[in-house]
């Protein structure tokens, strides 16, 4: 059995690390917390890991902007190591605030191949924090561990989830060159920009992105809040399923990891 070593990042303000670790433990991985200061001091930890995870929360209080301080710190002091990790076959997952940090760090979408910020995640069109269940559908993408056609319900909980590109050309590149992994869909299963099925107004319904290599995934909603059967919102109507919708993402990532 594939039992990849997973590093679950901790930093001041990150607050979803326990459930994220638990989800990985349930699908046969060997997850371990690693504090950002420890990782900066011992970057060789990355060489022993197959998966690096940026959990949700409010890293460094989201000072300046969501995920900004963590992203800047990691890019300045660990940038080359992170690129080497991804280029060497390592997988990276960023959930919610982790996604925001990956975007500011430049690991997503990294269309240029360089470690610099290309797009941004900013204030929801509703202008306030949104906390609600959303439905995601995966599309055909570069991502090596998310196939086309998954439907996954999980909670979104963010104030800054609106994806903005620098121009229309860049946005079209995201869509047409396989950088978009997840989209918010409406009741009919169609990608949507309409509130509330799309909680932040992201163009083209974009909820999650991958990078050039397909080994990095960031998404705004929380599969880590939908991996147990009783996490789901309607089990009392339909009975408990064997697992929550989000578990399949962790499973698939673990299967795809290099041990």
CB 85 → other proteins: shortest distance, Å? 28
Is 132 a binding residue for other proteins by CB under 8 A? The answer is no
Q: Which residues pair with 32 in a beta bridge?
A: 7
Is 176 a binding residue for other proteins by CB under 8 A? The answer is no
Is 18 a binding residue for other proteins by CB under 8 A? The answer is yes
Q: For 221, which DSSP code?
A: S
CA-to-CA distance for 191 and 184, rounded, in angstroms? 6
Is 230 a binding residue for other proteins by CB under 8 A? The answer is yes
Position among 17, 19, 130, 211 found at the interface with other proteins (CB under 8 A): 19
User: Which range of residues in 64-72, 126-134, 232-240, 249-257 is near other proteins by CB under 8 A?
Assistant: 232-240
Spatial CA neighbour of 56 closest among 25, 121, 123, 101: 101
User: Which range of residues in 94-102, 199-207, 209-217, 229-237 is near other proteins by CB under 8 A?
Assistant: 229-237
CB proximity list for 180: less than 8 A, separation 6 or greater: 139, 141, 174, 204, 206, 208, 209
- Could you give phi then psi for residue 251, rounded to 5 degrees? -60, -50
How many residues of this chain bind other proteins (CB under 8 A)? Answer: 10
3-state secondary structure 224-246: HHCCCHHHCCCHHHHCCCCCCCC
26/38 with CB nearer other proteins? 26
Write out the H or E segment, with its range, that includes residue 195: none
CB 257 → other proteins: shortest distance, Å? 22
238-257 residues in contact with other proteins (CB under 8 A) are 240
85-104 residues in contact with other proteins (CB under 8 A) are none
User: Which range of residues in 75-83, 126-134, 156-164, 223-231 is near other proteins by CB under 8 A?
Assistant: 223-231
Peptide bond into 109 cis (omega under 30): yes
Spatial CA neighbour of 102 closest among 163, 144, 156, 169: 163
CA-to-CA distance for 48 and 93, rounded, in angstroms? 17
CB 31 → other proteins: shortest distance, Å? 12
Write out the H or E segment, with its range, that includes residue 93: strand 91-95
128/230 with CB nearer other proteins? 230
Is 236 a binding residue for other proteins by CB under 8 A? The answer is yes
Is 237 a binding residue for other proteins by CB under 8 A? The answer is yes
Is 128 a binding residue for other proteins by CB under 8 A? The answer is no
CA-to-CA distance for 111 and 113, rounded, in angstroms? 5
19/211 with CB nearer other proteins? 19
Q: Quick check: helix, strand or coil at residue 18? A: helix
Is 22 a binding residue for other proteins by CB under 8 A? The answer is yes
CB 172 → other proteins: shortest distance, Å? 38
Contacts with other proteins, residue ranges (CB under 8 A): 18-19, 22, 228-230, 235-237, 240
């Amino acid at each position: 059995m594939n039992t990849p070593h997973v590093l679950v990042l901790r930093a001041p303000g990150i607050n979803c690390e326990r459930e994220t670790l638990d989800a990985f433990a349930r699908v046969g991985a060997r997850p371990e917390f690693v504090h950002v200061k420890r990782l900066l001091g011992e970057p060789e930890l990355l060489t022993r890991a197959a998966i690096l995870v940026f959990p949700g929360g409010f890293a460094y209080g989201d000072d300046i902007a969501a995920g900004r301080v963590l992203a800047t710190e990691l890019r300045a002091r660990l940038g080359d190591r992170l690129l080497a990790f991804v280029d060497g076959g390592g997988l990276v997952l960023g959930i919610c605030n982790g996604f925001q940090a990956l975007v500011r760090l430049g690991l997503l979408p990294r269309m240029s191949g360089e470690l610099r910020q290309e797009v941004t995640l900013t204030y929801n069109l509703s202008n306030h924090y949104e906390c609600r269940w959303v439905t995601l559908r995966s599309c055909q993408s570069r991502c090596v561990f998310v196939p086309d056609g998954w439907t996954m319900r999980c909670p979104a909980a963010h104030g800054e989830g609106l994806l903005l590109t620098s121009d229309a050309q860049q946005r079209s590149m995201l869509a047409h060159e396989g950088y978009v992994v997840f989209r918010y869909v409406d009741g009919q299963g169609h990608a949507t920009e309409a509130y509330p099925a799309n909680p932040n107004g992201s163009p083209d319904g974009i909820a999650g992105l991958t990078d050039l290599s397909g080994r990095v995934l960031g998404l705004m909603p929380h599969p880590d809040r939908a991996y147990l059967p009783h996490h789901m919102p309607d089990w009392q109507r339909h009975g408990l399923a064997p697992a929550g919708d989000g578990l399949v993402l962790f499973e698939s990532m673990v299967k795809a990891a290099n041990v």
